[in-house]
């Protein structure tokens, strides 16, 4: 269904005008989108932005001093690129410092293991804690264990993460990371270690957020690298009596204020209507956050910048939101929804880039069912860049996944996630994992998507 034009135009002239301009604007929009794409594919802007953020800022855990540097960097970068408006919005975040983490098999075969504290974990006692390992295939298996078997031990969740283009393996294994400490503590465990949620075989642990339940004892939680999880398995095939020492010194230090950083390319005719392109500025603290999510920051920033270089601004405003604190619970996204609740109706559509730097292979939407085919047809030109047109079940990804509940249509421009979980949340998330050509393809797709949506005359609401 077409969006209605202002009511002071008579019904007859409306009909004439609408069908004339629609035909013309469709062609001219497609022409502009094509030019935009050609420019995007030739541009190294996104790579330069990724390089700048990883080299000049590096790791930027929400709440850390480096995160404040990242906020300054983002404001300066958006200003330098000539965005029409650049501003920031407060987000209160907890402060968690990693400290050190060490794990050691005490018996039967003394060996150091490579571990990383999970985000938010409490510390062990100063001199560490020691306990026998009890292994579970999965979080579910742990849930079915008995208090008698687990009490006083260190739980080891040994779930492997399978490799898929969609990244679906992550969802299948991340439960142990997020909720393992709660379930283990319920059964009297003194700590939990998990096989890293990752698809690689590098001797690096994958960190990531974990949760506590205030009514349940908080126990230290760490991830083991895949080779170290294999090592425990090999020892456990020899004996059930594997004793581990774990020593971790993370600290929770209250809260602090950080910022969502926002840049806008103001719409020519509908400046109050927003096409939101999101990414997150924060990262985990052991890599330089190149694929998670400097590349996303770079993709959406470069896409909006390229649109701003067109001879004419598109109808709607392109709003780039660099969210403050995705990694520690989408706090930037939650703050954004709260702070912009009166403006939600003006969000035309939103998408977020937060799945690395590999090519986009599919575009899904979440729009009114009645307009899905037309909306998809608008994006038909994406297929020239290897992007298949998907379904109407998009969730939008990361912070943007909070928006459909507010009635906001979203798109998922899906990246190939085959290798994403090799590096995700590890020291190995560095610039060399970013392919400049794949990054440029992302920019081309986002620029085309954002431009076409900013010009679209479809009414994408209401969502079901």
Stretch that binds a second copy, among 54-62, 163-171, 276-284, 402-410 (CB under 8 A): 54-62
| Residues 103-142 close enough to bind a second copy by CB under 8 A | 109-112, 114
Instruction: Count CB atoms within 10 A of the CB of residue 271.
Output: 16
Instruction: Name the phi and psi angles at 16, rounded to 5.
Output: -60, -55
b/e map 273-285, b = 16+ CB within 10 Å: bbbbbbbbbbbbb
Q: How far is the CB of 55 from a second copy (least distance, A)?
A: 4
Cβ proximity to a second copy, 87 vs 109, nearer residue: 109
Q: Does 21 bind a second copy (CB under 8 A)?
A: no
Q: How far is the CB of 201 from a second copy (least distance, A)?
A: 5
Among 18, 143, 430, 463, interactor with a second copy by CB under 8 A: 430
Cβ proximity to a second copy, 117 vs 320, nearer residue: 117
CB 354 within 8 A of CB 280: yes
Among 142, 223, 433, 443, interactor with a second copy by CB under 8 A: 433
Among 71, 192, 204, 371, interactor with a second copy by CB under 8 A: 204
Question: How many residues make contact with a second copy (CB under 8 A)?
Answer: 33
Q: How far is the CB of 221 from a second copy (least distance, A)?
A: 22
Among 101, 226, 298, 331, interactor with a second copy by CB under 8 A: 226
| Residues 296-325 close enough to bind a second copy by CB under 8 A | none
Question: From residue 362 to residue 401, what is the string marking binding to a second copy with x (rule CB under 8 A)?
Answer: ----------------------------------------
Instruction: Count CB atoms within 10 A of the CB of residue 126.
Output: 7
Helix (H) or strand (E) holding 155: strand 154-157
**DSSP state string for 95-137:** EEE---EEEEEEESS-EEE-EEEPBTPPPPPTT-EEEEEEEES
Among 201, 240, 338, 386, interactor with a second copy by CB under 8 A: 201
Cβ proximity to a second copy, 185 vs 357, nearer residue: 357
Q: Does 250 bind a second copy (CB under 8 A)?
A: no
Among 35, 230, 374, 435, interactor with a second copy by CB under 8 A: 230
How many whole angstroms separate alpha carbon 44 and alpha carbon 440?
Answer: 7
Q: Which of 306, 340, 331 is nearest to 449 (CA)?
A: 306
Sheet containing 270-280: give its strands across.
85-97, 251-265, 316-323, 270-280, 347-352, 410-415, 360-366, 388-389
Instruction: Name the phi and psi angles at 214, rounded to 5.
Output: -60, -20
| Residues 261-300 close enough to bind a second copy by CB under 8 A | 287-288
Q: Which of 284, 259, 280 is nearest to 323 (CA)?
A: 280
Instruction: Name the phi and psi angles at 152, rounded to 5.
Output: 80, 0
Contacts of 141 (CB under 8 A, 6+ apart): none
Stretch that binds a second copy, among 55-63, 248-256, 332-340, 360-368 (CB under 8 A): 55-63
Q: Does 431 bind a second copy (CB under 8 A)?
A: yes
How many whole angstroms separate alpha carbon 60 and alpha carbon 287?
Answer: 9
CB 180 within 8 A of CB 221: yes
Among 13, 42, 56, 383, interactor with a second copy by CB under 8 A: 56
In the complex, the residues that contact a second copy under the rule CB under 8 A are 51, 54-59, 66, 109-112, 114, 201-204, 226-227, 230-231, 234-235, 238, 287-288, 426-428, 430-433
């Amino acid at each position: 269904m077409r969006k209605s034009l202002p009511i002071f135009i008579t019904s007859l002239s409306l009909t004439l005008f609408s069908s004339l301009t629609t035909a013309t604007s469709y062609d001219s929009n497609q022409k502009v989108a094509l030019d935009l794409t050609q420019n995007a594919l030739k541009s190294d802007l996104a790579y330069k932005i990724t390089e700048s953020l990883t080299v000049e800022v590096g790791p930027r855990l929400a709440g850390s001093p480096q995160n404040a540097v990242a906020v300054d960097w983002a404001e300066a970068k958006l200003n330098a690129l000539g965005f029409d408006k650049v501003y920031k919005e407060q987000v209160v975040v907890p402060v968690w410092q990693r400290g050190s983490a060490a794990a050691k098999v005490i018996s039967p075969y003394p060996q150091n293991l490579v571990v990383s504290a999970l985000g938010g974990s409490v510390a062990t006692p100063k001199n560490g804690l020691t306990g026998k390992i009890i292994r579970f295939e999965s979080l579910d298996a742990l849930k079915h264990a008995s208090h008698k078997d687990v009490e006083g031990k260190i739980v080891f969740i040994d779930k492997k993460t399978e490799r898929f283009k969609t990244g679906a393996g992550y969802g299948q294994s991340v439960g142990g990371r997020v909720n393992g400490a709660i379930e283990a503590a319920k059964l009297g465990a003194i700590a939990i270690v998990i096989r890293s949620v990752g698809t690689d075989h590098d001797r690096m642990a994958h960190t990531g957020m974990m949760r506590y339940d205030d009514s349940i004892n908080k126990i230290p939680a760490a991830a083991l690298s895949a080779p170290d999880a294999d090592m425990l398995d090999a020892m456990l095939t020899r004996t059930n009596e594997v004793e581990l020492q774990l020593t971790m010194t993370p600290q929770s230090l209250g809260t602090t204020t950080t910022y969502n950083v926002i840049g806008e390319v103001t719409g020519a005719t509908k400046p109050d209507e927003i096409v939101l392109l999101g990414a997150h500025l924060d990262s985990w603290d052991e890599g330089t956050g190149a694929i998670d999510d400097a590349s996303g920051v770079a993709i959406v920033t470069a896409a909006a910048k390229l649109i701003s270089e067109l001879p004419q601004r598109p109808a709607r405003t392109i709003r780039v939101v660099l969210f403050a604190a995705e990694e520690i619970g989408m706090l930037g996204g939650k703050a954004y929804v709260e702070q912009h609740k009166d403006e939600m109706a003006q969000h035309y559509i939103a998408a977020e880039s937060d799945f690395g730097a590999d090519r986009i292979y599919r575009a899904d939407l979440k729009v009114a069912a009645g307009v899905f085919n037309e909306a998809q047809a608008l994006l038909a030109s994406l297929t020239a860049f290897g992007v298949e047109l998907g379904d109407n079940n998009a969730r939008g990804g990361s912070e943007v996944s909070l928006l459909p509940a507010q009635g906001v249509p979203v798109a998922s421009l899906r990246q190939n996630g085959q290798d994403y979980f090799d590096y995700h949340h590890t020291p190995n998330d560095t610039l060399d994992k970013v392919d400049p050509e794949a990054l440029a393809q992302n920019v081309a797709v986002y620029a085309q998507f954002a431009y076409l949506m900013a010009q679209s005359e479809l009414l994408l609401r209401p969502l079901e």
